[in-house]
Structure 1
Amino acid sequence: MTTHIPAREIAERPIGYAGPNLSPTGLRLAPRTLASGVHALLATIPPKDNNGLVTGRDAALVVDAGITPDVARMIQDRCAELTARPLRYLVNTTYHGDHTFGNAAFPSETVIVSSRANRDNMGDLGYEKQVRSGNMYGDEALFDAVREWRRPNLTFDGHAEIDLGGRIVQLWHFGPGNGPGDTVVYVPDARVAWTGNLLAHAGIAHMLLQGGPQPYLATLRAVREALPDLATIVPGHGPMGDGPAAIDALVAYLERLHAEVTDSVAAGHTLEESIARCTDPWAGELDPTLVAALASYQIPQDQAVHGMRELCRNLHRLNILATYRLYTAR
C-alpha cells in the first residue's frame, strides 16, 4: 500500500464518540523539574495540554503555547517563576489549536519554531476553531479571544538545533503520526523529549487523525533509531512516561490495527463490523504503569482511571474508522 496523508484531518466520528475534553476551564500547570533547567509543566487534569520549559545560560525555550491567550499567559507566568532567562523560543509540536492558539500572546520577540509541515497546516483559523470546538465541551466561547493564528516564523524539515547557551535543544520531524508535522523537542543532556501528540505514555490510545498506521510506524522506528538514549517523554496530553516503553507499546498497537483492518476490508466487512471485530486493548484493565502515573493528578484516581479507559476506547474506535476509510479509498 502506498502512503497517503490527507490534506485535512478526518472529520467523521464513530456513533456515540466522545473525544478528549481540552477546555482550559479548571486547568493549572504543575511544574516538575526533570534536570537543572529542564521543567515539565503538567496539566493537573487529564487529558488537558502539557507544556515545557528548557533554559540555558542565555535564553529559555517554551514547548507549546496553549489553547487560548489566557492559557499562554499562564504558561509565561509559570516560566517566570522558574527562570529569569528571556523566553526567546517557542516550539509548536503540532499545528493543532490547543497547542498553537496561544502563540499570539507571546512577546513579538519570541521566535516561534516548528516543522514546515505544521506551519503549512496553519492557514485557516476559522476551520481550526470549528474542528477543536468538538473538544471544548460547552466552552467554545473561549475561542472568541483567539483572533489571530500566529504562525511559526522559523521552520525546519527534518532536524534542527537551538543553542540556549551551554545547552543544545534538538528539534526533530521524523514523519507523519497524529498529524503530518509532529515535532519532537529533545534535550540530550537530560534524555527528555516533549513529544506532543506523536507519543504518549504506554497504554494510552493515540489518534490517527491525518494519516494511517503504516506511515506512523515508519516515524516511530525513526524516533527509536535517532534517539537511542531517550529515557523520559513529556507528551502533549496525559502523564509523563518511559520513552522506549511508549514506542514499543504504540508500535505493537499500530501493527495490530493495520493487520486487523486490512483483513476486515479484504473480507468485505462494513465499518461497524470492523469496529466490532478489531481487538480492543482497553476492554479490560489499564497498563499498571499507566494506573500508577494517573495517581499524580489532582482528581480521584478511580475517576482518572475510568475517564482514561473510556477515552482510550473512544479513540480506538476512531482509529479503526480512520484506517478503514483510508484503506477502502485505495
Structure 2
Amino acid sequence: MTKGFASTTDMAEKAITFSEIGPDLYAFTAEGDPNSAVIVGEDGCIVFDAQATPAMAGKVIERVRAVTDQPIKYVVLSHYHAVRVLGASAYDAQGIVASQETHRLIEERGQQDWDSEFGRFPRLFQDAESIPGLTWPTLTFEGEMSIYLGKREVRLLQLGAGHTSGDIVAWVPDAEVMFSGDLIEYHSACYCGDAYLRDWPSTLNEIREFNPKAIAPGRGAALTGLDTTREAIAMTRDFVGSLYGAAELAVAKGRPLKDTMAACREVMDPKFSSFAIYEHCLPFNVSRAFDEASGIEDPVIWTAERDREMWAALQGG
C-alpha cells in the first residue's frame, strides 16, 4: 500500500503543553511537533527555537506573556532546519543566536531546506505567507558562549555533531536544566536526514555528563527527574545506533538502498514504530545512514524534488 508523502496527511491539530521544568524555565511542547522553550531571567528572557512561521511563534509568545512581562531579548537557534527558525521575526528580539556552523549551513542549504520541509509537513507552516525570508543569525559563536539575563547565566555549547553539524544546546547552571534541541527526542523519531550518525552517540554522552535534572527535548514531552532524562538520552542513543548499525551492516554486505531500508525496518520497527513521525522520518534516515556508511561524510542537500524521488523509491509500495 502506498503511503502518503511524509506528513502531508497529518493535519490534526496537536494539544500544546507549556510546563515549568525548573525555576522560570519552560518547555513548549505539542505531542511530537517541534518544541520551543523559554528561559526567564531578571531583565529579559530567551526563546530557544523559534517555530516554523511568525504565526506559530505567536503561540509561544502568548505563553511567555502568561508567565513574565520581561522582554524577549534573544532567540537561540539550536540548528538551521526551517521548522525551527523561520518564525524568528515574530519575537522582535535584539539578537538571533546560533553557531557559526549553523550560519554556514543556512547559506549553503537554507532555501532548499525551507522548500523541502514545507512540502513534507504543510501543517507546521501555518500562515506561511507571513515568513519574511530566511532567518539569519545576528550573533554567532564557535565552541561556547554565555548570555546573562541579569545574574542568570545561560551557557550555549557546541558539544559535537549529531542531528546536524551545527547543533548547540543551552545549559542553565543555576537550575541544572538542559535545552537540547533535536539532539534528544522523547517517544518521537529522530530525524536523521542531515545527521552525523557516528558522532551523535558521543555528543549524547557529553550531555549525559551534565546530569541534567530536566531537559527540554526537540520533540516529545518535557523531561524532569534524572531517571527520565537518562532514559531519554539512552532512548535517543538506541534509535541512532540501531539505525546506523543496521545500515552499516547492509552496506558492508553490498546491499542496495532498498534492501537497506528493509534491514533497518527489521531492527527498528519493533522498538520505534509507535513513535511520532516515525514513518515520515524513516526513508530520510535510511538514505542518510546508507550514505554515511558508504563513505559520504557530509549529508547530501535535500530538495523538494529529491524528497519525492526518494519517497517513491522507498515508501512507494
Give the TM bin, normalised by the shorter chain.
0.7 to 0.9
Superposition map of 1:30-179 within 5 A: 30-43=17-30, 46-107=31-92, 109-123=93-107, 126-137=111-122, 142-179=127-164
**Secondary structure in 2 matching 1:127:** helix
- Determine the C-alpha separation between the residues in 1 that align with 2:207 and 2:86: 27
What do the CA deviations read for 1:120-171 (whole angstroms, capped 9, x no partner)? 2223654232111133347868322212223111111122211111221121
- Determine the C-alpha separation between the residues in 1 that align with 2:67 and 2:182: 25
Deviation of the 1:252 alpha carbon = 3.1
**Secondary structure in 1 matching 2:120:** coil
Given that 1:282 and 1:313 are in contact with CA atoms closer than 8 Å, whether structure 2 keeps it comes out as: no
Taking a change above 3 Å as real, the CA distance of residues 272 and 23 of structure 1, as seen in their structure-2 partners, is: closer
Structure 1 runs of 4+ aligned residues shifted over 4 Å read 15-18, 20-25, 138-141, 279-282
Report what 2:289 is aligned to.
323
- Determine the C-alpha separation between the residues in 2 that align with 1:125 and 1:282: 30
What do the CA deviations read for 1:264-323 (whole angstroms, capped 9, x no partner)? 11211122222222364553476xxxxxxxxxxxxxxxxxxx8x4473255344322211
Given that 2:251 and 2:293 are in contact with CA atoms closer than 8 Å, whether structure 1 keeps it comes out as: yes
**Secondary structure in 2 matching 1:214:** coil
Superposition map of 1:180-219 within 5 A: 180-201=165-186, 203-219=187-203
Deviation of the 1:173 alpha carbon = 1.4
What do the CA deviations read for 1:219-241 (whole angstroms, capped 9, x no partner)? 2222233x1x2132212222123
- Determine the C-alpha separation between the residues in 1 that align with 2:84 and 2:123: 19
Deviation of the 1:18 alpha carbon = 4.8
**Secondary structure in 2 matching 1:50:** strand
Taking a change above 3 Å as real, the CA distance of residues 213 and 17 of structure 1, as seen in their structure-2 partners, is: farther
Report what 2:216 is aligned to.
234
Report what 1:289 is aligned to.
none
Q: 2:260 aligns with which of 274, 292, 300?
A: 274
**Secondary structure in 2 matching 1:40:** strand
Given that 2:118 and 2:125 are in contact with CA atoms closer than 8 Å, whether structure 1 keeps it comes out as: yes
Counterpart of 2:23, as a letter, is S
Q: 1:243 aligns with which of 229, 240, 253?
A: 229
Report what 1:293 is aligned to.
none
Deviation of the 1:101 alpha carbon = 0.6
Given that 1:22 and 1:49 are in contact with CA atoms closer than 8 Å, whether structure 2 keeps it comes out as: no
Runs (5+) with no aligned partner, structure 2:
297-317
Taking a change above 3 Å as real, the CA distance of residues 280 and 172 of structure 1, as seen in their structure-2 partners, is: farther
After alignment, is 78-87 or 259-268 more displaced? 259-268
How many residues are aligned here? 290
- Determine the C-alpha separation between the residues in 1 that align with 2:284 and 2:250: 16
- Determine the C-alpha separation between the residues in 1 that align with 2:151 and 2:9: 36
Counterpart of 1:58, as a letter, is D
Taking a change above 3 Å as real, the CA distance of residues 149 and 31 of structure 1, as seen in their structure-2 partners, is: same
Deviation of the 1:72 alpha carbon = 1.9
More helix by share: 2
Taking a change above 3 Å as real, the CA distance of residues 37 and 310 of structure 1, as seen in their structure-2 partners, is: closer
Given that 2:50 and 2:86 are in contact with CA atoms closer than 8 Å, whether structure 1 keeps it comes out as: yes
Report what 1:301 is aligned to.
none
Give the percent of matched residue pairs that are identical in Structure 1 and Structure 2.
Answer: 23
- Determine the C-alpha separation between the residues in 2 that align with 1:240 and 1:38: 11
Counterpart of 2:217, as a letter, is P
- Determine the C-alpha separation between the residues in 2 that align with 1:81 and 1:24: 27
Runs (5+) with no aligned partner, structure 1:
1-14, 287-305
Cα RMSD after superposing both structures: 2.8
